[in-house]
Structures are given as structure tokens and as C-alpha cells.
Amino acid sequence: MSDKTLPGKVAMITGGGRGLGKAIALALGGAGVKVALSSRTQAELDSTVAALRATGVDAEAFPADVTDEAAVGRLQRDVLARFGKVHILVNNAGINIRKPVQDFTLAEFRAVMDTTLISTFLMCRAFVPQMKPLGYGRIIGLASTMGHVSIAHRTPYSTAKAGIMGFTRALALELAPDGITVNTISPGPFATEMNMTILNNPELAQTFTSKIPLGRWGKVEEVGALAKFICSEGAAFMTGTDFLIDGGWCAQ
């Protein structure tokens, strides 16, 4: 839905080619935001950019590996050259590897941490300095219910998501004098590409559904709507907090 409540703002979204990142891009684009998207997959980025441009949104794709320090530096340079400034930073990049802890290699564990947590640090370090003089800033990290509670075989994922929440609280205090809010969104089960292993197993999918008090999986558009609210003036007094959107999962 187009409501143009955030005209003139520019958003940088990692992991923006699909799933929750794409939903956030569409929601912010509908509110009048110009959108820079990044992921490792060019085809997914092109698809999302095309969807945004079809509704009149000024959008651009910037393929990058946000776990790489030099690549993030180039991304920052290219995005600012194209858009001039970034008001909104959404750190959505992340992966999940599910297996018993003894079966993880160090490289696998680090891959989850690097893609999910270290990329958040690198992106904030790159984009915060230009955000400070703007008098407005919104940083949103995608955490997870798995950072609050957990289930078996999620050790690196839960570690990374809990780390994002701790990083966010500290950064919120650091940036509050600059008028920049820093928050996280913690989704529960959503029908995204990351969860296709579960969704493609009807018995396992039903097991997850039975544990959600509202009795259904989330819709990606609901995360997009929440992100748009966090970027609005109505959320200007909210910082250093986490927004659970999980159908009641963590209330149990």
C-alpha cells in the first residue's frame, strides 16, 4: 500500500532480495522511501528492484558480500554516490545452519556469525557517520525469537541473534544524542525461503504451527508494516528495544 509517510528518506537494506528483506523494501518503498538493496544474489536483487520500480519507487541493487570489510566499504561508497545519504539502515542479512553442536565445523559456525552478526557491525560502522548529521536516523536489526528462546540444533543462529540484540542496546545508547533510534525486530515462524526445509515437511510444519498461540505462521507483509512503523515519527521515542512479532510464541 502506498501512503508516502516517509517521503525523501533513503533506506539501505541488506538481504533485500527476498523474504523479510524484500517485504521491508516494499513497505518502505510504498511509504515514499528510496531503496538501496544488497545481497549476494544478483537475480533476486533484480527481481525486487523491478517490483519496486513498477510502483514508482526509486530503487537500486548493490550486490555485495556484507561479511567482507572491504566489500562493505565499497557498498557504502556506491550507495552514497547514488543516493547522497542514507536515513534508514535495515540489517537483515543472515543464514541458518541446523545441526547438533558436535557436527559443526568452525567454518560453519563462523559463517552464521559473520553473515548475521558481524555484518550488522560492519554496516553500522560504515553508515552511521553519515547518518549523524541528518538529525534523523533509524537502524533496524533483524533478530529472532531464537534470540529469546531456542530449540535444538540452533546454537550459532541463537547466539548470533542474541548478539544482535545486545549490540543494538549498546548502540542505541551511543546514538541517542544524535537522534538516531536503534531497534530490533524478532520474527517468529514466517514462510520465507530460510524456512522451506520446515515448510516442505508437512508433519514438521504442523508441529511448529501447533506451538504458535495464534495458530498460523506469520505473513512477511506484517514484518514490513512493523519496520515501516519503526521508521515513522510515531516511533521516535522507541530505541534500544526489541519488537517481537511471533504470534505469541515467546509468551509461553
Assess if residue 3 is contained within a domain. Answer: no
Q: What kind and span of H or E run contains 138?
A: strand 137-142
Assess if residue 248 is contained within a domain. Answer: no
Contact 12, 38 (CB under 8 A): yes
Average pLDDT over residues 83-99: 97
Give me the chain's average pLDDT, please: 96
Contact 144, 186 (CB under 8 A): yes
Average pLDDT over residues 131-143: 97
Active-site amino acid positions: 157
Assess if residue 249 is contained within a domain. Answer: no
Helices and strands of the chain, counted as H and E runs:
9, 7
Average pLDDT over residues 231-238: 98
Average pLDDT over residues 215-237: 97
Assess if residue 212 is contained within a domain. Answer: yes
pLDDT in tens, 8-38: 999 999 999 999 999 999 999 999 999 999 9
Q: How many domains does the chain have?
A: 1
Length of the chain: 252
Domain that holds residue 209: 10-242
pLDDT in tens, 164-203: 999 999 999 999 999 999 999 999 998 887 777 887 888 8
pLDDT of residue 1: 47
Assess if residue 5 is contained within a domain. Answer: no
Can you give the pTM of this predicted structure?
0.95
pLDDT of residue 161: 98
